[in-house]
Amino acid sequence: MRSVRAVVVAALVMVVVDLVWLGVFAASFYNEQLGPLRAQETVVGAAALFYVQYIAVVVFFGALPAASVRMAAARGALLGWFAYATFEFTNWAVIEAWPPGLVVVDIVWGIVLTATVAASARWAYGAEPSVEAA
């Protein structure tokens, strides 16, 4: 039950925070940076697949193995670096018009978002149950 609670909290935090970032705070930045590279319509299936797999990785490799919320945040930050830097550096390397200004912003966002999601999931998971001595 604790793992389910961690996954649900991670999913809520990830989707809400990411959509607020992408749809409200940084929408014009991403539109300006991506220009004609940006799709007119989001491919919902692809987005859903990303969120499902990324939340699973963050919860089961970042949050649950961590001994504390703080450690989960650190593990999440590292996962965010690897995931978002891989995406950004690969795009920058192989897509001719990939905007360099997007690279740093998106990587920093990935680090912050993933650290927040991992910390939230670890918090929701709670402390390990104590074992009564016999």
Q: What is the pLDDT of residues 77-91, one digit of tens each?
A: 999 999 999 999 999
Is this structure's pTM higher than 0.85?
A: yes
Alpha-carbon Rg for the chain in angstroms:
17
Q: Which of 102, 88, 85, 84 is nearest to 32 (CA)?
A: 102
Cα–Cα distance between 98 and 77 in angstroms, integer?
24
Q: Is the pLDDT of residue 15 over 90?
A: yes
Cα–Cα distance between 74 and 85 in angstroms, integer?
16
Look at residue 80 in the predicted model and tell me its pLDDT: 98
The pLDDT > 90 percentage for the chain reads 89
Higher confidence at residue 34 or residue 134?
Answer: 34
Look at residue 83 in the predicted model and tell me its pLDDT: 98
Q: Which amino acid is it at 17?
A: V
Q: How many residues belong to the chain?
A: 134
Q: Is the pLDDT of residue 133 over 60?
A: no
Q: With bands split at pLDDT 50, 70 and 90, how would you rate the model's confidence at 132?
A: low
DSSP string, 57-114: HIIIIIITT-SSHHHHHHHHHHHHHHHHHHHHHHHHHH-TT--HHHHHHHHHHHHHHH
Q: Which pair of tokens denotes residue 76?
A: 């999440």
Handedness of CA 7, 12, 15, 20 (dihedral sign): negative
Q: Considering the chain, what is the average pLDDT of its residues?
A: 94
Look at residue 127 in the predicted model and tell me its pLDDT: 76
Look at residue 130 in the predicted model and tell me its pLDDT: 59
